[in-house]
Chain A
Amino acid sequence: DIQMTQSASSLSASIGDRVTITCRASQSISNYLNWYQQKPGKAPRLLIHAAFRLHSGVPSRFSGSGSGTDFTLTISGLQPEDLATYYCQQSYTAPFTFGPGTNVDIK
């Protein structure tokens, strides 16, 4: 199985800050990387697919980059509604594994 890791389990930031969340795959997954946002008690929401493609309806302050094994999700100007846990997922090969998540809260 491909293992997905995220560099931080949690991070604190202020409203308006630029926030960067990183994800690493245990082997190359090309650009088969998705990012999700999950708020408490809710289903995950797809933000980014194929490493950098913004999913329909997602605000443009969210962006993704990377390829191979290292990937980044950036929130340019953190908003109160962005408080959530963010997960990466590889869709390169089954089983389609997720990272452990990064919880973003307000400093």
Chain B
Amino acid sequence: QLQLQESGPGLVKPSETLSLTCTVSGGSITINSYYWGWIRQSPGKGLEWIATIYHDGTTYYNPSLRSRVTMSVDTSENQFSLKLSSVTAADTAVYYCARDYYHSGGGSDYWGQGTLVTVSS
């Protein structure tokens, strides 16, 4: 059974960089046709797609966050990562990592449990 687990600091200071890692177990991150992404949900709010990466490093970013976001993949560790720079209180949210197949007409079929990141001094 495929499992995804987010890890990273739960508290980040304003103007600093938020860094999260998603570890994939029970399957390979190099599987063909599947991408790996990040989605966030602000407290009491809806869902926002952040970015998606393929195991070859091809990335797609939400234009609204593009200037501050970087995704990377480490196939040797079966992990992918998110960095969001210059954070503000508006970036406080539960961050989910997920497997997706948008490019094949699908959705996000496996999700991590989510990790709450609070931006505060």
Residues of A within 8 A of B (CB): 1, 31-32, 34, 36, 42-46, 49-50, 55, 87, 89, 91, 94-101
Contacts and interface: CB of A to CB of B under 8 A. Distances in A.
B47 A49 contact: no
A34 B112 contact: no
The 4 lowest CB-CB distance pairs between A and B, nearest first, are: A34-B107, A43-B111, A91-B102, A95-B62
Interface of B: 46-49, 52, 60-64, 96, 98, 100, 102, 105-109, 111-114
Contacts of B47: 36, 44, 87, 89, 98, 101
B49 A55 contact: no
Contacts of A96: 49, 52, 102
Given A94-B62, A95-B64, A46 B109 contact: yes
B105 A98 contact: no
Contacts of B102: 32, 91, 94, 96
Nearest to B4: A43
Contacts of A98: 46-49
A97 B49 CA distance: 7
A34 B46 contact: no
Contact of A99 (B46, B60, B61, B112): B46
B48 A43 contact: no
21 contacts: A32-B102, A34-B106, A36-B47, A43-B111, A44-B96, A44-B111, A45-B111, A49-B105, A50-B106, A87-B47, A89-B49, A91-B105, A94-B60, A94-B61, A95-B63, A97-B49, A98-B46, A98-B49, A99-B46, A100-B46, A101-B46
